[in-house]
Amino acid sequence: MRNRHKLTFIFFCAIADMIAMVIGTLIFINFNAKVNTGWNDLFLDKMIAITFLSWLFSVTYFKLYRVDSLFNLEDFFSNSWRALLLQRILWHGYIFIFQDDLLNLYWTKAKLFPLCFLLIYFLLSRILFMLIREKTKKSFFKPYKVAIWGFNKTSIELASHLETNSFFIEFVGILNENSTTTYSNNKDFSLELSEAILNAHANNINEMYIVSSPDLIDDLNYFFQLGDRHCMRLKFVPDFSLISKKHFSSSHLNNFHVINPRFEPLQNTYNRLIKRIYDLIFSILVIILIMSWLYPIVAYFIRKQSKGPVLFKQIRTGKKNEPFYCYKFRSMYIDGADESQQAKKGDLRVTPVGKFLRKTSLDEMPQFFNVLAGNMSVVGPRPHMLKHTSDYNCHIENFMVRHFVKPGITGLAQVSGLRGETKEVSDMKRRVSTDIQYLQSWSIIKDIKICFLTIIVTLKGDKNAF
């Protein structure tokens, strides 16, 4: 019953918002039709579809209709306004690209009316949604009491989560948080837990989380059956806080409970397919639209200033620690110097045109051929030379984790100001930490965001690019 009302509320919120967005666009189209601005019908006919797609992208990006966001007032209000702002930017961006008459006075008025309508709608609808939500909770939901038994680091974190997401439940708390009892053997623990289950039933608790070290429980099925007998849901949460200070990721393999050291979205085949499709589309567009004319121009200046090949290829570490040839526009003189030495500020090996290429990151453009070949991705950890991989692996914990995914032309570390020469091991530690953060939180939206940030950072100029 609780899930049914929850999903119904989310559905009606989403439908109401989409209808409002469409009404705003219809106001825009109707105003233009009345004043005869001269905009072609084909352009105006696509406005509804653009509205739908831009709003869908915005709410997906900000996760507006996720349960934990929708029923958290602070997140719901802030994400609503963020989604509206992003949708307006995308919507007006479409007009900016495809409509020439941007200075038309009536266009300004046509823009103002739907904007005012949407601002008023979002202000009133969010207040109304809040009132409906509270009324629904009081009218339809009976108290569903949830408690925790077991006082440890894991149970404290679980309690914090339940308190934050407690709209549909009445969280009682940790039942034995004031207890000083220590269990010397499994029998004492079993007697205490059995008594706790009976007391919880007497206090009308509907669901109880048992948070304990697995070695204290001889027969978990016995406690589950005891809970079933009293019509109370029991859930067991293993406490590994004494074994490791890190957070685990868990999954299931048939009847086996599998504990992973971290969550990796790209372990999912579907996610890898999406990322590969994005890489192919992006790299093909760049090669056709940019490299087709940029390559001969850069090649001319490289060969004019120094002898040698246009492209510089170097063996670097790829996914699964497998080496591959990484391509770049040659930015240095061919003088037989040690190629494993990182470029430094004011490096005399760099040619005049090479300085420009490195400063603007244009020297990395041939790596889109690597992406097309499948050696690299558009976004990912930057590939290192084999020697550097070997050296840093000896000094930095979890360094090789960044090689669980394909290396990228750009990455989260690069747009976070962590590109360029690494003078100290601590510099590389920060970069590796950021790369692992990307690996754990990957999404296609994040890849698109990093690409946009890369363009912005490149246009602004990066002090670490030399």
Phi, then psi, of 293 in degrees rounded to 5? -110, -25
Question: Model confidence at 466, in pLDDT bands (50, 70, 90)?
Answer: very low
Please provide the size of the chain in residues: 466
Question: CB neighbours (10 Å) of residue 241?
Answer: 15
Q: What is the 3-state secondary structure (H, E, C) of 363-419?
A: HHCCHHHHHHHCCCEEECCCCCEHHHHHHHHHHCCCHHHHHHCCCEEECHHHHCCCC
Rounded to a whole number of angstroms, the CA Rg of the chain reads: 29
For residue 48, count CB atoms less than 10 angstroms from its CB and return exposed for 0-12, middle for 13-18, buried for 19 or more.
Answer: middle
Residues 278 and 416 in one domain: yes
Residues 420 and 373 in one domain: yes
* Mean pLDDT rounded to a whole number for the chain: 82
Residues 298 and 192 in one domain: no
From the list 23, 8, 13, the residue with the least C-alpha distance to 83 is 13
Residue range 125-156, pLDDT digits in tens: 888 887 877 676 655 556 788 999 988 888 88
* CA 363 – CA 355 distance, rounded (Å): 10
What is the domain extent for residue 206?
145-245
Question: Model confidence at 41, in pLDDT bands (50, 70, 90)?
Answer: low
Last residue within a domain, chosen from 105, 140, 175: 140
Residues 44 and 156 in one domain: no
| pLDDT recorded at residue 79 | 86
Amino acid at 229: R
* CA 119 – CA 70 distance, rounded (Å): 19
Query: CATH number for the domain including 178?
Result: 3.40.50
Residue range 238-247, pLDDT digits in tens: 887 766 656 6
Is residue 258 in some structural domain? no
Residues whose CB falls within 8 Å of the CB of residue 185, separated by 6 or more in sequence, listed in order: none
In the block, tokens 């949708």 appear at: 87
**Do the beta carbons of residue 154 and residue 241 sit within 8 Å?**
yes
Residues 338 and 225 in one domain: no
| pLDDT recorded at residue 68 | 65
Question: Is 50 exceeded by the pLDDT of residue 380?
Answer: yes
Residues 163 and 134 in one domain: no
Residue range 345-359, pLDDT digits in tens: 656 778 888 888 888
Question: Is 50 exceeded by the pLDDT of residue 1?
Answer: no
Is residue 10 in some structural domain? yes
From the list 136, 114, 117, the residue with the least C-alpha distance to 125 is 117
Residues 121 and 155 in one domain: no
Angle of helix 425-440 versus helix 386-395 axis, rounded to 10: 90
Question: Model confidence at 2, in pLDDT bands (50, 70, 90)?
Answer: low
Query: What pTM was computed for the model?
Result: 0.66
- Highest-confidence range of 168-172, 334-338, 399-403, by mean pLDDT? 399-403
Last residue within a domain, chosen from 124, 140, 156: 140
**Do the beta carbons of residue 401 and residue 437 sit within 8 Å?**
no
Residues 273 and 155 in one domain: no
Last residue within a domain, chosen from 107, 140, 173: 140
Top pLDDT among 77 and 31 is at 77
Is residue 465 in some structural domain? no
| pLDDT recorded at residue 103 | 46
Amino acid at 320: K
Residues 373 and 397 in one domain: yes
DSSP state of 346: T
Residues 129 and 204 in one domain: no
Lowest mean pLDDT among 73-77, 361-365, 404-408: 73-77
Is residue 255 in some structural domain? no
| pLDDT recorded at residue 108 | 61
Mean pLDDT of 450-458: 89
Is residue 252 in some structural domain? no
Question: CB neighbours (10 Å) of residue 12?
Answer: 12
Is residue 264 in some structural domain? no
Count of the separate structural domains present in the chain: 3
**Do the beta carbons of residue 384 and residue 339 sit within 8 Å?**
no
Residues 110 and 155 in one domain: no
**Do the beta carbons of residue 421 and residue 343 sit within 8 Å?**
yes
Is residue 286 in some structural domain? yes
Residue range 264-295, pLDDT digits in tens: 999 888 899 999 999 999 999 999 999 999 99
Residues 59 and 176 in one domain: no
Mean pLDDT of 166-189: 80
Residues whose CB falls within 8 Å of the CB of residue 443, separated by 6 or more in sequence, listed in order: 265
